[in-house]
Structures are given as structure tokens and as C-alpha cells.
Chains A and B, each alone.
Chain A
Amino acid sequence: MVDDSLWTIFINASLVNNFVLAYFLGICPFLGVSAKLETASRMGGAVTFVMLVSSICAFGIQTLLVAIDAPYLKLIAFIAVIASTVQLVEMFIKKVSPALFRSLGIFLPLITTNCAILGLALFQTNKGYSFVQCIVYALGAGAGFTLALVLMAGLREKLELAEVPDVTRGTAMALMIAGLLSVTFMGFGGLGG
């Protein structure tokens, strides 16, 4: 029995419990692809899209697994579905829009090992969301991921030109910015409650 309103779900997934800054999901791409704004926003778009598709798939699988009473297959089924979803999406985009494929192409394989996608599937199952709630949850999570990534990219591009001390350069600084963003996002606590 989950009666969370769609708005609550969205705000929660994007701001209050931001996937990156509160749940630490998708940290690898967050640190890896956030150096340039352009790639960051594209990655955000790609992840949001895959999240949406795999969330729908995961919802179907969960329904199926409950029906055949095989909860132990959940993880394997999810990861298989996500991997193949990514493949299918890749093929689909390649066929439908080569331009989009060129801009997203290199990120799609990376997304398979993006824990945010699997995390989304697992969380939505744990929370027992309905179909519509799942879609909103996926959109919220994707928006939150993109927001965090884009903010991060802006700050990193700015600091690219800074005289950052040698010890801080690289991942350590990215983590510090992430920590500060995380502190900032704490201000959203209680929204959507």
C-alpha cells in the first residue's frame, strides 16, 4: 500500500533523496563524465532515457516473478534486462536517429554498469510502486541524476582554470564538490513530505 503522490515521488527522487548525492548511485559516471558540460548533459539524457525504459521493464519483470513465485531470480533478471535494454536502445537509436546515436553512443555501454539504473529497479520494487508511480520515479531519478551531473560539470569546468593545489586535483576535488553539493541538497529535506 503505497499512496505517495506522484509529485512527492518526483521531488523525492530528484531532490530530497537525489540518487547521486544522497544514495551514491551512479557515482562512477558522476565522477567520470562530469568534466565537460556537454558530455555531462548528454550522459544525463541518456541515463534518464534508459532509466525510464528499464523501470518499465523492471516493473513487468517484478509482476512476472511474483506471478511465478521466483523472487530469487530478481537480481539476475534485472541485470539481464538492463543489459539487453541498453543494447536494444543502442540499436534502436542507431537505426532511428544516427545523429542522436553519435552524441549518446559512447555512453550507452557505460550505462550498463551504472548502479543508478539497477538501484532504481530495486528501489521501485522495494517500495512497491504502481506502474505510473514507477514511471514518475524513473523520471525523477533521471532528472536528479542529470541535475547533479550538470551542476558538477559546471563547477568542474570553472575550476579547470583555477590554481588548484596539486593534492586536491582530480578525484579528491570532485568528491569535495560532491560533498558540498550533497550538503546543499540537504536543504531540500522535508520537501514533498
Chain B
Amino acid sequence: MSDLLVMRGIVKQFPGVRALDGVDLDVRAGEVHCLLGQNGAGKSTLIKILAGAHQPDEGTITFGGEDVRFSGPIAAIKSGIATMYQELDLVDGLSIAENIFLGHEQATIGFTRRGEMNKAASELLGRLGHGEMRPATEVGRLSAAGKQIVSMARALSHDVRLIVMDEPSAALAHDEVGNLFRVIRDLTAQGVAVVYISHRLEEIREIGDRVTVLKDGRTAAVGLPARDTPTSTVVSLMTGRDVAYVFPPRPDPGSHDNSPEVLKVEGLTLPGRFTDVSLTIREGEIVGLAGLVGSGRSEIVETVYGARRASAGQVVLAGEPVPPGSTSRSVRLGMGLAPEERKSQALLMNESVARNITIAGLTKYARFGWVDRKEESAAAVRLAEALDIRPPDPRRPVRTLSGGNQQKAVFARWLVEDRKLLLLDEPTRGVDVGARAELYAVIRRLADEGVGVLLVSSEVPEVLGLADRVLVLREGKVIHESDARDLDESRVLDMIMEGSAL
């Protein structure tokens, strides 16, 4: 079978970084080609070049047997390449249908044919297993997962020969990923090629045909068979060393039973979102929240943190009641939150990595409001090193970092001060295997130092592997609580999907 797409010797230079340094990629029609690589390896950059969003400095692209050079996104789309970008690229003010057809609206002399577009959008959503989403709904009101689905529908709306998906599963829950895979199989059956990027190796194994591995802007391996290459080989190709996908050892069950309570939540309720949630976290304990996307986990976390005001219930931190609705008070009392959407909720995109790290603990480096910049930058350097943020230059604007490294910067923020409680909402979303292991170790180390941790993750194995105790959430209610070791993945999945499997 001849190659549909051949990229050779692609080089891309950004100010100060050589993001791609001679990358090769071959994709055949009808295959799922996985692109792997650590955070910052250059995956997103490569596919942006393929999509015409960036211009390569060097290298050639052959698509469908012809040499091409895409001057802009429209050129790539016209040739039959559709892209789902890593950072969601939807317009909040427009409806689902309008987002799907943005740029290639169905129109007569400029007048949109709304009925037709809505119908077509409905069909696409139905194909993705979401016939219930109304095409006229405004995208700004959708959850991250909903947006991801719209983004997918948009890619499908083009008449394509190649679809690129940059971490499409990052915001999706388990069953959604199943849906996604079904669609991908449909596509490949019709001869469409898919380039698939993900940090979840088990997904690669399930859906992928061949794998290309990037490391530091170079191709480390081309076209390995996805199912037959041992994980250890892939990981060592990516990282240049052997990293086991393992969780740090945890203390024996019950060893926290006598530690003082860090957090006590009683009867917390936010109508329509969650009801009567109670939980306690003891010093040194990691408590995991498992649940479907949309089950209210993020909102519980945000409410505990004081970013939302509960209608009932109370939150007590180390014996002190936390006044609702004030994040600054919560931070002062010793809480920290790594929110779910790093771009919109956590990062100051125009500022340097250093400043993103120190912003929450600024008072620690300040006397009477006066910032001691030496101390501050020393702390930033130390923390950036501790989490191995790459490139290792804390003065870079955080916007130029890859997604995973941005996440580390957010995380580093809360290592600054002596925290009593850390709330981690999807802390490893978009983080590569190597870094993940490091983050797990950091989280565990913090716990061992006496910090309480509330962990939310859509990856059940992560919750089960890292947490000491697990709460299972369904439709805003806690339906189960037990030691993590007493659960396995299928049991948790059964519980969270029970009754909602339809």
C-alpha cells in the first residue's frame, strides 16, 4: 500500500527553540497512525505544519502523491486534511452547528442555510453517539467534553482523506473514548487515515496500527507496529530511558486513621450540581474522586476551595471553618487548587513561567507588599527544576511551552508554600508518561510530608493507583467510599456507569 502522506526532514524554528529538527512521518490510507512523544517533543507543532497553521522552515510534504505546501489552514482543508487541535479552537458565541461548519458554511450567496446546517450537524453528532446534543445550543455553555465532541464533529464535517487528532481523549471519559474509537474505526474502514496523538499508551494499543515516536524534535522511530511493540520499548524511545508506568508505594491501609483531619466537608450541596457531599481527608492522605465526566467532581472541588458558594453544608480546614466564596481566604488558610482547564483557569499566558509559579505564593517573597525578586526567582528556578519543566528556562513566556509542561508549571505553583490541602483536578491531563511518574512521586511525597490531597481524575487506574481512599460519585452524589486497594477498575466503572449506561 502506498503512503498517503509523506513528510520528510521537517524543521521548525521558534524564537529560541528548535521545535522540530528534521522529522519524518509516513501515513498510509486507512490506518491509524499514532504519534507519541514526551511533552514538548514537537507533536503539536508537527501537526500544525501539516494543517497549514505553521509554515515549515525546511522539509517536504507529499500528500496523495503530490508535493504540497500549505500556505494556510484553508489549503490543507481543501486538500482533504482535517485537524482537531489540542487547545480547543471553538467560538463560544456561536452555536454547535455554526462551529462545525465555520469557514465552510452551507450558504446561498452568503446567506446561511440554517435548517440544512442544523440537520447536517445533528447527523454528525449522532454519528458520534451524541444525537441528544441540539445543534442550536451555544458552544460556550458546553462542558470541556461537549466541546471536544463538537471539535470532532467539525473534523468529520469535511470531506477528508486524513484526520489529525491531537489528544482528543484528554477531556473525555471512558465511555466517550469508546465512542471515539468506534468513529475512528468507521473512518478507517472507508479508507480515511487518522493521525492520533495521545499520552495514554493503552489507547494506542487498542486503536493504533503503527506508531511514530518523536523525541526532542527528531524522529526516534518510524512506523513501529502498534500492537506488537512492547511498552517498555516505546517508553524508552520517548524518554531515552526506562520509566515504568508505576505508582509510588503507598502506606499501609489504616495508617492514617489516627492522623488529624485536614479537611472535613459536611453536607455540601449546590443545587443541580451535587447534593449532600461529605468527606474527610486526614494528614498525609490522598483521597480520589472517581466519576463520569459531568458528575460534578470539578464543582465539588471548586466549592471546597471557595471558588463557588454552596447552598448548604460546610467546609472545615484543620479545625477552622472555611468561609464560602473567598479563594484568597482559602489560600491563606492553606489550600491550593490545580484547576481542570489550565489555559483558562490557571495560567497567565503572557507571563513567564517563573511568575506563573510564584503568583499564588507572592506574599511569601514579599515584605509589606514589597517583592524580594531575588528570593522569588530563586524559588521559581528551584521549583521549575524540581518538576523538570522543559525547556529549563523559567523566564520563557508560559505560552510557548508545550501543554504538558504548562501543566507542570501550574502544579509547581502549589509547591511553593506550606500547604495543608491540595485539590488536584485532572493533574495529569496531557502529561506524558515520564512526567506522569514524576508527578505521582511528587504528589506522594507531599502526602508523606503531611499534606492532604483531593485528587480528581477521569482515568480510573490513576485514581486507584495513587489514592489511598476512593469516593465514587454519580450524578452529584457520593455512592461509594472505600479503601483504594479494595477496588478494581471494572468495579468502579460498573458503579459510575450503573443506570447511566444507556
A and B bind: no
Chain A residues with CB under 8 Å of chain B are none
Chain B residues at the A interface, C-beta cutoff of 8 Å: none
